């Protein structure tokens, strides 16, 4: 059985194809979202519900990534670049009052 209901995959696909999400994703990542994976997951889920065939019973894309690591929504790229250089220790005058 798929980890989520088929309506969840359909809803995620519809959300991914929406104008607001596409605009936000393009603004944040510089490219349009790839929503094909959500459609494939929905079709695999429906095939499992309809046929219960051995090939569709364990859909590898659904079990490997149950909706949390799709490139269209959460993304594989970092959301932002670091602005400050990380330090290992505080500055030597950290206890002095600020100007």
The residue extents of the domains of the chain are 6-57
Tokens 């309506």 identify what position? 7
7, two tokens: 């309506």
Q: Which residues contact 68 (CB under 8 A, 6 or more apart)?
A: 74
Let me know the angle formed at the C-alpha of 4 by 19 and 77, rounded to the nearest 5 degrees. Answer: 50
> Over the stretch 5-54, which tens digit does the pLDDT of each residue have?
888 889 999 999 999 999 999 999 889 989 988 898 888 888 888 887 55
> Over the stretch 68-81, which tens digit does the pLDDT of each residue have?
455 444 444 555 66
Cα separation, 59 vs 92, whole angstroms: 57
Ramachandran quadrant class, 61 (left: phi over 0; alpha: psi -120 to 50; beta: rest)? alpha
Cα separation, 28 vs 66, whole angstroms: 23
- At residue 74, the pLDDT reads 41
> Over the stretch 49-64, which tens digit does the pLDDT of each residue have?
888 755 555 545 555 5
- At residue 99, the pLDDT reads 79
């Amino acid at each position: 059985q798929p980890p989520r209901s088929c309506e969840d995959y359909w809803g995620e696909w519809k959300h991914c194809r929406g104008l607001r999400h596409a605009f936000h994703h393009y603004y944040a990542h510089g490219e349009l979202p790839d929503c094909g994976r959500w459609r494939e997951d929905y079709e695999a889920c429906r095939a499992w519900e309809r046929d219960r065939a051995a090939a569709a019973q364990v859909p590898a894309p659904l079990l490997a990534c149950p909706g949390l690591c799709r490139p269209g929504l959460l993304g594989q790229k970092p959301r932002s670049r670091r602005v400050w250089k990380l330090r290992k220790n505080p500055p030597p005058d950290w206890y002095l009052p600020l100007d």
